[in-house]
């Protein structure tokens, strides 16, 4: 999509900077309880909609909750759940994709037709449909995103496994008596890793966007849990008087997602992963 030719040093810089930004956000999400100045859900109507001060560095929202603390805790929700979705959908995709590719036959056919079916939907439409039928809520959103995402991993991994199965080193391993489990573990998985890393990095960005979009629509994280999309939703009511309430969380989403995208693109060039979109 954004694939472009860059010099090696530019690529390295992009990787360094985006990694540093992401590392910072990961640290924030882990250390939130220690670095946040206030309890993010503590309501104090006496100081509602307060301007920035030493006590509240970024001011407060309409419940008098500290905006900075909510932003820092928000990193926890966004990154945490994005990672969970990534890990779970990768796990399912890896299992199904390897099985389909390695065993082949009608099992392969059946599983891949299922993946095609899921891919025939526009992504977020299906996610919304699933959330709509299961009911709004954080876990429903996580399940819905997982149900849609794993097929992409499964398809990709299956394709790589099929093309690799016939290569000589696999035949050699089989001839020297390696078991199926060992061949999958020792030979297939290490070879399919680079594209997974690239796709995973990009998917983290998408997952964060999707989680925040669903929370914004009122279908994901329910108040008072601090989450960036939900904060924008709450802050929009004060667009005339206190626009920063909805500007800050958006900037946080933008920074994190753009870092994941830049890192993903740079890695895909670096690792020589060809992408179709």
Partner 1 sequence: MISYLTKRLLAVIPIILFAIFLMFALIRLSPVDPAEAYLAAAHIHPTEEILAEKRQEFGLNESLIMQYVQTVKQIVQLDFGNSYVTNTPVWQEVVTRMPATIQLAVSSILLAVIVSVPLGFLSAVYKNSVIDHFSRFLAYLGASIPQFWLGYILIFVFAVQLDLFPVEGRGSWQHFVLPSITLSLALIAIYTRLLRASVLEELEKVYVTYGRTRGIKEKTIMVKHVLRIAISPMLTGLGMNLGKLLTGTIIVEQVFSWPGFGRFFIEAILNRDIPVIQGYVVLAACLFIVCNLIVDVLQLYMDPRISWKGRTES
Select the residue interacting with partner 1 from 151, 154, 199, 219 (CB under 8 A).
219
Of 3 and 107, CB closest to partner 1: 3
Q: Three-state DSSP class for 66?
A: strand
Using the 8-state DSSP alphabet, how is residue 219 labeled?
Answer: S
Of 98 and 200, CB closest to partner 1: 200
Q: Interface with partner 1 includes 8 (CB under 8 A)?
A: no
Minimum CB separation of residue 219 from partner 1 in Å reads 6
Q: Interface with partner 1 includes 223 (CB under 8 A)?
A: no
Select the residue interacting with partner 1 from 75, 85, 128, 160 (CB under 8 A).
128
Select the residue interacting with partner 1 from 51, 52, 91, 129 (CB under 8 A).
129
Q: Interface with partner 1 includes 46 (CB under 8 A)?
A: no
Q: Interface with partner 1 includes 229 (CB under 8 A)?
A: yes
Of 33 and 243, CB closest to partner 1: 243
Minimum CB separation of residue 216 from partner 1 in Å reads 5
Of 2 and 46, CB closest to partner 1: 2
Select the residue interacting with partner 1 from 1, 8, 46, 175 (CB under 8 A).
1
Q: Interface with partner 1 includes 55 (CB under 8 A)?
A: no
In the chain, the largest separation of any two C-alpha atoms, in whole Å, equals 76
Q: Which two tokens stand for residue 202?
A: 């990009």
Do residues 227 and 220 lie in contact, with contact meaning Cβ atoms separated by under 8 Å? Answer: yes
Of 33 and 218, CB closest to partner 1: 218
**What residue has token string 């958006």?**
250
Select the residue interacting with partner 1 from 2, 8, 46, 175 (CB under 8 A).
2
Q: Which two tokens stand for residue 236?
A: 């929009």
- What Rg, from alpha-carbon coordinates, does the chain have? 22
Q: Interface with partner 1 includes 13 (CB under 8 A)?
A: no
Report the C-alpha gap between 31 and 97 in whole angstroms: 36
Select the residue interacting with partner 1 from 55, 117, 180, 186 (CB under 8 A).
117
Report the C-alpha gap between 220 and 215 in whole angstroms: 4
Count of residues engaged in binding partner 1, rule: CB under 8 A: 49
CA 87 to chain CA centroid, Å, is 9
User: 40: burial class by Cβ within 10 Å (0-12, 13-18, 19+)?
Assistant: buried
Do residues 70 and 226 lie in contact, with contact meaning Cβ atoms separated by under 8 Å? Answer: yes
Q: Interface with partner 1 includes 101 (CB under 8 A)?
A: no
Of 154 and 209, CB closest to partner 1: 209
- Cis ω for the linkage preceding 224 (within 30 of 0): yes
Report the C-alpha gap between 91 and 106 in whole angstroms: 22
Do residues 90 and 83 lie in contact, with contact meaning Cβ atoms separated by under 8 Å? Answer: no
H/E run at residue 156: helix 138-165
By the criterion CB under 8 A, which residues form the site for partner 1? 1-4, 116-118, 120-126, 128-136, 205, 209, 212-213, 216-219, 229, 232, 236, 239-240, 243, 246-247, 249-250, 253-254, 257-258, 260-262, 277
């Amino acid at each position: 999509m954004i694939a472009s030719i860059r010099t090696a040093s530019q690529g390295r810089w992009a990787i360094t900077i985006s990694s540093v930004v992401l590392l910072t956000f990961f640290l924030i999400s882990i250390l939130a309880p220690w670095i946040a100045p206030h309890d993010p859900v503590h309501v104090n109507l006496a100081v509602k909609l307060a301007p920035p001060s030493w006590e509240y560095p970024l001011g407060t929202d309409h419940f008098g909750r500290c905006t900075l603390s909510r932003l820092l805790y928000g990193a926890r929700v966004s990154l945490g759940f994005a990672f969970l979705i990534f890990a779970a959908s990768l796990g399912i995709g890896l299992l199904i994709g390897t099985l389909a590719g390695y065993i082949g036959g009608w099992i392969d056919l059946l599983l891949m037709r299922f993946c095609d079916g899921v891919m025939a939907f526009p992504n977020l439409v299906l996610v919304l449909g699933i959330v709509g039928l299961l009911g709004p809520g954080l876990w429903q959103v996580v399940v819905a995103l997982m149900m849609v995402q794993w097929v992409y991993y499964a398809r990709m991994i299956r394709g790589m496994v099929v093309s690799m199965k016939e290569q000589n080193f696999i035949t050699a391993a089989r001839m020297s008596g390696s078991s199926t489990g060992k061949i999958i573990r020792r030979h297939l998985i290490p070879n399919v890793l680079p594209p997974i890393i690239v796709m995973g990095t990009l998917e983290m960005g998408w997952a964060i966007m999707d989680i925040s979009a669903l929370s914004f629509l009122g279908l994901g994280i329910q108040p008072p849990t601090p989450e960036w999309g939900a904060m924008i939703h709450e802050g929009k009511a004060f667009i005339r008087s206190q626009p920063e309430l909805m500007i800050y969380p958006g900037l946080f989403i933008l920074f994190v997602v753009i870092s994941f995208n830049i890192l993903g693109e740079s890695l895909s060039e670096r690792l020589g992963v060809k992408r179709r979109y």
